[in-house]
Amino acid sequence: MSHTGDRSKRLDIALVAISIVILVGALWIWISAMPVAREIVFLATTIALVISLVLVLNVAILVVLRLQRRVSDLEGMMVDSVTKDSSPEKILVVTLTNTERRIINRLEENGGQMAQDELRRATGLSKSTLSVTLSTLERKSLISRAESGRTKIVTLEHNVSR
């Protein structure tokens, strides 16, 4: 991690520690001042408690924002590595269901092209499940279907890496 990152991390830890100390102190004062009949002491400690809660909330928001920034930086790094490492012909697929994977595997085994009824027999899926799943794969631009008489020919459009 860089020098600026270390300083930022130390600052975050210090802010969290200070917030917790102030919150515990304010709670202790507030609880110990409850039996006192003086309204001013109670009001002052209540204000201190509210201020410390706001401080803790601000630190929590700061931490969440930094985490979001870090996640977006990591996502950017992943996208950069995928675009550098893979050719334009390949697609990195991480969101396939088991049924979609089964269909893609059967198409790859048969040279990337099969009749839809032949694919149904090879995968063991019902007609409706196969049709719905093929529509999903078409929307993902992984396959295409072309009419061929009373059936359709399913063609694998891209090499799919695992």
Write down the domain spans for the chain. 3-85, 91-161
The whole-angstrom separation of Cα 159 and Cα 140 is 13
Residues in the chain: 162
The whole-angstrom separation of Cα 78 and Cα 106 is 29
Task: Order across the sheet with 151-156: list the strands.
Answer: 113-115, 151-156, 143-148
Paired strand residues for 91: 160
CATH value of 91-161 in 1.10.150.20, 3.30.750.24, 1.10.10.10, 3.40.50.10470: 1.10.10.10
**Digitized pLDDT (tens) for each residue of the chain, 162 residues in all:** 456 667 777 777 777 788 788 778 777 877 776 666 667 667 777 777 787 788 778 778 888 888 888 888 877 777 776 666 555 555 555 578 889 989 999 999 998 899 999 999 999 999 999 999 999 888 888 899 999 888 899 999 877 666
DSSP 142: S
